Structure 1
């Protein structure tokens, strides 16, 4: 019997599986997907075996990761309702799907961890928000849960009522960062910088700036001010960003993301 089972092998499921292999052996993992060709390809690449069905996957793992879209949850929960037990640990990564709704479908005695990872998990730099009732789990189980999420990045533990905000902060926001990198690269390609160089220049700057926030302990505004010399080029650019609604656009994007999360049933 495997330790961790992934039901679903889309972008997020694959990213987590790849990350988990840094901390767990291939024999500790099993996965299922309706795409047989994908199953064979991923199994060949990772040496992780695949199950023939969601029920088989759920029956052969203690920690069952539901790595499918929210609209697929009713079907997947029906697939596994007869194989999960009170010893099982369900890990849900779908936005808008509450712990209570999963318990309602699988049984009140089923233990559920709700999480929101992001796709940088693929390279071990994911950010995951996690919520669960720790008193329902043994110390060993909590160690496995912590080991699993830390295997592909960083983790913050939050109250479940904050999970929709986690989707906004880190679950969906990589897309905005990629858009920023693309737009910044476009903006300097027009001045003659080669596109490959432009992406490298901007992406490394984003990486370095993020590390400055995480490792310096200084407020982002303080770090921004250190780049903005009086009367200089940077403050002129910052002024243009403010004039064109840079902050407001991000806040509105977050509001739209949050509204979508809260509308999912």
Structure 2
């Protein structure tokens, strides 16, 4: 069953304690989130699955995404590891499966061939890519039979990702933002705080609403009351004016927070 991608997602990075993960995912679902994002490397797929099973929200209402670890990207490893993920998550079909990073065991033909096969046999519903360069996205498009549904990258007011956002719009896939509040650094940006004050909102809500207004799907990780606080960003999306958006778009500082040496953007582009 194909499900659309909800506007705002709930990230689960660093939710490694079983009770903490289950509690916070259930709280997010109770708050209204319907997109839950996890990954093999987070080591919490089982707890995310437990939370979904225990929640009052029906499984068919939840859009569930996970990601294949860089060590599991060879063809057979993709097929075997996704079965482990599916068992841990306790679902028949994974709504969205990402290549977490195009590094490690990633081979475009083999890895993406496995993803296509998983769509064909119904193990996954949609294909996602994460942390790809534009040339790698173009390469993937040429290889895949199924369409790219989503591309997930670090994206926030200090890293607006205009080129990837434009590529997503031009190529009809979703751009999904991880670290959408720059690991809390948006609270120290005066321009965002000014806008927040005007709308009786928080800086994090403004940052999330700014992304949503750009057609980007943020997946903030949170715990406790911050879960509901982030979700209320949806209440101010329509309140942000063109001048509010322009003020954030015009921030002069730019900062990438997740920048491993092996990241694709630190390597030369694929040769034509």
Higher CA-based Rg: 1
Normalized against structure 2, the TM-score is what?
0.38
The TM-score with structure 1 as length reference comes to 0.38
Q: Which has the higher contact order (CA 8 A, sep 6+)?
A: 2
Greater fraction of residues in helix: 1
